[in-house]
Amino acid sequence: MDSFEGPQGHSERFGLHHVDFDLPDRPRTPKQSAYFYSKIIENNGFASREKLFNAQETKNIEPNKVSSLPPSTVPSQTKNVWSRFSSQTNFQRKLYHYGTFPDGFSWGVSSSAYQIEGAWNADGKGPRLSIWDKFAHTPLRVDNSYNGDIACDSYNKVDEDVAVLKKLKVTHYRFSVSWSRVLPDGTYNFINEAGLDYYHRLLDALKAANIEPQVTLYHWDLPLALQKIGGWENEIMVRRFYEYADVLFSRLGQKVKFWITLNEPYIVANLGYGYGTFAPGIIGKQYIAAHNLIKAHAEAWHLYNRKYRAKQGGIISITINSDWAEPRNPYKQEDVDAAKRYLQFFIGWFAHPIFNGDYPEVMKKTIHERSLAFSPSQEQRSYCLAYSIIMSNTPWFKGLDKTFCPCSPKTYPTTFFNDRGTGTTHDRTWIESGSFWLKITPFGFRKILKFIKDEYGNPPVYVTENGISERGAVDLNDIHRKHYYEKYINQALKAQVLDGVDLRGYTAWSLMDNFEWAAGYSERFGLFFVNRSDPNLPRIPKNSASRYASIISCNGFPDPALGPHECLNPEPEGKIMLCHVIPKLCVYGEI
């Protein structure tokens, strides 16, 4: 157990059991290492892989039903997930699970309109632009004053983009529609046929390649004309989004069977309308923006369900992003509560209304109490959380972010992060990426999938974005990305096979290096490198593209002990192409 360690006192701890020296009876609490050491003793060494796991981990768990409790009183399942994995060691977490996903599993890759299309003012889109057109042309808003005027020029490169999709062997391609390209002033007063024609060409090319489209209605590029009347702060946006969705369902719906209403409304609300670091650069209005986003999703969902689903045969839902969080000290109740709040203020903010008809109780209670405590005039901050939002339970397309944050309580004046009341940190041993907010933590991926299953009644889940960035010199031998996809997809397999998560698809972010919002082109997530020094903007495969294609071909990770598998052999042409371009790329990187 933890004890008195000479000159270091109690500051250094070697124990298999934690001792709480603040309590007079000095309780002993077993650490994860105690459980693992006990297993070693029990097995007189290192047993087979199956025996290292608890019995419950090696069998499927029956799906939970959606809770019958009244809206917003549904208890959080976070503690169940922490308990489920608390005895796992690093060795167990990293252990590879061989197996494959079910037949019909969806394999995809993703992009978004502003990030890849370019043609910012072409064919009727200008002069009615989007909020990101304006934001990126505003000094000091985007790294190195980059913008999406040309981006990857996908507007003019449909055939090239579909060709690289075919190389990846994906079954699905997720992209978004530019609202201002189709409805330049944001309303259906004028429908830009040239804009619709681009999406028809893309959809037809995908069909010819036997690739199913996953189409996002809104991926952050709001028409500037609508921002001039308040954007998502204005409730009229609910109606405008309904009208926009109606146009797309009616004009594109016969070619689309997989719709996503909104991409990551948390980012729109918090970064766009809360902290102002993303377009449109508004500060302190995230709650009302989020409320209107949720209602807009509900209206579009019901529109499709009522008017189009029967004749078009598609599915529709929303992409919600989230981190996974754990208490910094799992034996300290304040930290446990902080981690629960973190998740409810993140994923629960948008998922709870969809599955339970209202905001999480902790959000409503905390925001209301803190508003009154600091100033009665700030009551308006929480009024939007007083409504009950009635929605139908829908299949949920879950876009998962990649970070994992131990949490502890925090109290300061009123803002969103202070309302949440948590401070976060991360383990310095976690592998970094090209983005300050993104660490490689595959074990958190499995945990949040399990949380979704337990918290929301095991809904169908599609991972709609998952990927890793890099900065600096270009290296097509992107070992870190290859490692990332292997580890994260394997954790997804564990979630499905061992935890019983109803996981139906996985989508990598992103198809190619593109405009990464406020980071411009400084951060690169692509499976394909886009050579911006060449006016033709060629798409050049990185090593990770070949590995992802092989995982898709194998439909997972077949056990090599069972014999050779053809799907594990990368295509020779990929290697040849890489050898030709590597010398050329060396001159572009900065050291």
Distance, C-alpha 249 to centroid of its chain: 25
* pLDDT for the residue numbered 28: 87
pLDDT of residue 574: 38
Check: CB of residue 55 under 8 Å from CB of residue 39.
no
At 575 the pLDDT is 37
10 found inside a domain: no
Which of the four pLDDT bands, split at 50, 70 and 90, describes residue 54?
very low
pLDDT > 60? residue 48? no
**What radius of gyration do the chain's Cα atoms show?**
25
Q: What number is the average pLDDT over the span 345-358?
A: 93
Percentage with pLDDT > 90 across the chain: 65
Does 92 map to a domain? no
Structural domain contains residue 30: no
pLDDT value at 173 more than 60: yes
Give the pLDDT score at 35: 74
How many angstroms separate the CA atoms of 134 and 115, rounded? 14
Q: What's the pLDDT score for residue 64?
A: 36
Whether 1 maps to a domain, the answer reads no
Query: Cα 397 to the chain's mean position, in Å?
Result: 10
Six token digits for residue 517: 């919002």
Kindly state whether residue 91 falls inside one of the protein's structural domains: no
Cβ contact 274:286 at 8 Å: yes
The pLDDT of residue 381 is above 90: no
One-character DSSP codes across 252-313: HGGG-SEEEEEE-HHHIIIIIHTB-SSTT--BS-HHHHHHHHHHHHHHHHHHIIIIIHHHH-
Residue 405: its pLDDT value, please? 47
Mean pLDDT of 244-261: 98
Q: Is 522 exposed, middle or buried (0-12, 13-18, 19+ CB in 10 A)?
A: middle
Tell me the per-residue pLDDT of 150-166, one tens digit each, with 9 for 90 and over. 999 999 999 999 999 99
In-domain check, residue 450: yes
Helix (H) or strand (E) holding 81: helix 78-85
Q: Residues, the chain, total?
A: 591
pLDDT for 62 equals: 38
Categorize the per-residue pLDDT at 374 as very low, low, confident or very high, splitting at 50, 70 and 90.
Answer: low
Res 388 pLDDT > 70: no
Q: Which residue has the higher pLDDT, 541 or 72?
A: 541
Domain count, the chain: 1
Cα separation, 535 vs 538, in Å, equals 8
Please give the residue range of the domain that contains residue 152.
99-585
Separation between Cα atoms, residue 97 and residue 60, nearest integer Å: 15
**Average pLDDT over every residue of 257-285:** 97
Task: Give residue-wise pLDDT tens across range 523-534.
Answer: 999 999 999 999
**Residue 297 CB partners (closer than 8 Å, separation 6+):** 261, 262, 265, 318, 354
Active site (catalytic) residues: 465
- pLDDT of 398 reads 41
d(CA 513, CA 148): 12
- For residue 75, tell me if it sits in a domain: no
Residue 254 included in any domain: yes
What is the percent of the chain where pLDDT is above 70? 81
CATH code of the domain in which 208 resides: 3.20.20.80
